Amino acid sequence: MDESQALQALNAILSRPEFKPSAVSLWDVFWSAVWEQVREFLAWLLSPMQDMLAGRISWLQLGAASLAVVVLIAACWFAARVVAFSVVRDRPSARANASIQRERSDHLWTEAQDLATRGQLAEAVRSLYLSGLYALAEHDVLHVEEALTNREHALRLARARPEAGESLTAIVERYEPLRYGARAVTREAFDELGRLVQRLRLEPR
């Protein structure tokens, strides 16, 4: 047999199924690691019983170890129940808070329209602006704080939600000159601000 024939024979042998490495998936690796942890936990859990049978610990020590395991399991179960209850309880609370913010926003919007109809445009633009803020609070994208200025609210929102922050910045830039007397509060200015606020109120977040 020459060298070429020998190589062919060797390749034929190595191509047999028993010489091919089996593919191991990530799923297999994951479950192998999980079962290894389970096996180690069970070994630790049963070690007191093995020690007792081997005469290394007494029945009293075994009872104390078993009690400790029961307490540990009960504590884990209690912690899981507390977390689950907290999550379930917070969901209705969040919905209730959103509903309150929506009602506040709607009330301020209606109030702004009523004030404008009566010619109280200076008061109307303030209610209009606050209506936009509470619409953002409804969607949990902005927390309204009295200590923050209008521009600080806009900057904070821009860092968290750039698109919404851009909309609020445009509103602030039109609102502040009207609010602080740098621009006359006309019906046209009120309507312009109203269109921006209404778009903010209706935009999905």
What DSSP designation does 140 have? T
Residue 65 confidence (pLDDT): 62
Residue 190 confidence (pLDDT): 94
203: phi then psi, degrees, rounded to nearest 5: -70, 135
Distance of CA 47 to the CA centre of its chain: 41
The CATH homologous superfamily of the domain defined by 90-202? Nucleotidyltransferases  domain 2 (1.20.120.330)
Domain positions in the chain: 11-87, 90-202
Q: Kindly report, residue by residue over 75-131, the tens digit of the pLDDT.
A: 767 666 655 544 444 445 556 566 787 888 899 999 999 999 999 999 999 999 999
- 169 vs 41, more confident: 169
pLDDT at residue 45 tops 90: no
149: tokens are 């200025």
56: DSSP letter: S
pLDDT tens-digit readout, 137-173: 776 677 777 788 888 888 888 888 888 888 889 999 9
